[in-house]
Amino acid sequence: MIVFGAMSEEFSYWLVLFRHNLALVPWLWFLGFWMVYFLIFVLLRRNRNDEKSIWHRDSPLWQGLAAGLVTGAVGGLFYALAPRLTIAWLLLIVIPAVAGIIAGLLKLKRKGDRSLFDNALCITEGNVHISPGQGFLNGSLEGISRQIYEQPQTLLGYLISQLLNLAGLVETSMISGGVVLSQGNIPFASGVSFGSFILAATMGKKPAAGFFHAGRPSRQVKLLRHEYGHYLQSRGSGWIYLFKYGIPSASMFVWTEADAEYRSDRRMMKAHGITPAFSSYDQDYKSIRPGVWEYLLMAFLIIAGAIKGGLGGSIGGWLVAAGIIAAINMRTRNMPATGENMSPGK
């Protein structure tokens, strides 16, 4: 009871401080930044896809506005909790994009090569991409999810993609199936997925034109489809993706790879009618999904750490929860027979 009373008192002090910080948040700046960011690329995509009417209720215009509004509001709340970390988050988005676009324009002017510029623009758009043809709610949720739910892996993928492009290692970037696919001389793996970003090495071959190829896929396309399955894992698990799937996958636990292949094949079959590419596909198999306890554990330890030690305590709580989740998921599971191992680095 004494411990509970002490924590309750600390929480009361923290709540007073949070209310004070909330009043100091530059709300217009946060809301304006995210709404403009979304809308710039909504308008660029509209010209490319020849949308019928931008004023339609399911138009990307309204989806982008809603996604930007919610993301800006959450960013403002986060700023009240951790202002320096929030500013760093925004700078990590803006600086690589500006650097890539400027470098691309200089290369275009000097050498007539626009690949670096186009890649930088595509990667920047992919960070707030909303897939066309969706209703208002689904489209808005896709944009919100990339910035709030699918973190930190999406930010990590965005940064790595921009930096590799600046280094001249990315031959081409495209948005396919809602994910940014960058191909080129990727130095650390044949293929790797970070949230909404997939990086794949071409290994001297011509870059693939996306995931959606009917008929027997090449080894290169199979690699991309495998990584697409990891992207679908990220969409489904959000904050705990790196610990639920990423660390076990890097440690070569087969279940994460077979699960990614199953998700990819099922999406290809249901959405596009494309024949499965992996032998792990099974109509009766169900994806391995995160447990509610994993989200609750992470939320509890982050909040408890924040109350006890501020930002440092919350980061500590996050790391402890991450370690527990990763440790529990680093085990062998009964899976359907997997096809050719397409795990990163293979």
Tens of pLDDT along 163-191? 999 998 998 998 888 899 998 888 877 78
∠338-292-319 over CA atoms, to 5°?
85
55 vs 85, residue with greater confidence: 85
**Can you tell me the mean pLDDT for 134-140?**
87
* Integer Cα distance of 72 and 66 in angstroms: 10
Phi and psi torsions of 179, nearest 5° = -125, 150
pLDDT at 4 over 60: no
The pair of structure tokens assigned to 63 is: 């989806």
Q: Taking the C-alpha atoms of 232, 233, 237 and 238 in order, what is their torsion angle to the nearest 10 degrees?
A: -60
Neighbours of 95 (CB within 10 A): 12
Residues 117-135 have pLDDT tens digits of 999 999 999 999 888 878 8
Query: What size, in residues, is the chain?
Result: 346
Residue among 154, 140, 334, 345 nearest 255 (CA): 334
Say if residues 100 and 119 touch (Cβ distance below 8 Å).
yes
Q: Which pLDDT tens digit goes with each residue over 196-206?
A: 999 988 877 78
Which tops the pLDDT comparison, 268 or 3?
A: 268
pLDDT value, residue 280: 63
- Rounded Cα distance between 232 and 237, Å, is 9
Neighbours of 259 (CB within 10 A): 28
Rounded-to-integer distance, Cα 330 and Cα 243, Å: 9
> Does residue 59 have a pLDDT over 60?
yes
State whether residue 167 is helix, strand or coil.
coil
pLDDT over threshold 60, residue 52:
no
pLDDT at res. 15? 63
Mean pLDDT computed over 142-154: 91
User: What pLDDT sits at residue 68?
Assistant: 92
Give 13-25 as a DSSP string.
Answer: HHHHHHHHHHHT-
Cα separation, 51 vs 131, whole angstroms: 12
265-315 confidence digits (pLDDT tens): 888 777 677 777 776 666 566 778 888 888 888 888 887 887 777 767 888
Residue scoring higher pLDDT (60 or 234) = 234
Local structure of 131: helix, strand or coil = coil
